[in-house]
Structure 1
Amino acid sequence: MANKPGAPKKPPEELRGDPIQIRLTRSERQACEDAAAQSALKLTVWARNALIIAASNIKER
C-alpha cells in the first residue's frame, strides 16, 4: 500500500484550529497586506507572527 501524498500530519499541539476575527479599516488592511508582501509572507502568516511578537513583548514587561 502506497503512502498518502502531502505533508505529514502535525502533532496535536502544533495544529492551528482556533481562529480569531478582527475588523480593520481598508487602510489598516492595506497597510498589513503591504507589510506582508514586503516580508514575502501570506497575510495570515504575517498577522499571526505580528500578534505573537506583540504578545511576547507585553509578556516580557
Structure 2
Amino acid sequence: MKFCFGDIVVVDGNQSGVIVKSWERSLQDLPESHDVYVRSYNAIANYPENEIERYMVRHKYLR
C-alpha cells in the first residue's frame, strides 16, 4: 500500500481529501482501495489506489 491513514490525497482530478480507511486486496482479486473523506463533497468515497495521487506542498508555495 502506498497510502495510510491521515494522508492528504488528490482525487477526481482536483479534489483534495484525507485517507480514513484502507482496504487490502481480497480473495476476489479486487485492487487495494481507500476510503477518502472529500470535504467539497462532504462525504466519504472509496477509490482504487491507482486513482489517487499524493498531495504535495512545495516550500516555495508556503512563503
Question: With structure 2 as the length reference, what TM-score do the two structures score?
Answer: 0.23
Computing the radius of gyration over CA atoms, which structure comes out larger, 1 or 2?
1
Structure 1-normalised TM-score?
Answer: 0.23
* Greater strand content: 2
Greater helix content? 1
Task: Identify the structure with bigger relative contact order (alpha carbons < 8 Å, sequence gap 6+).
Answer: 2
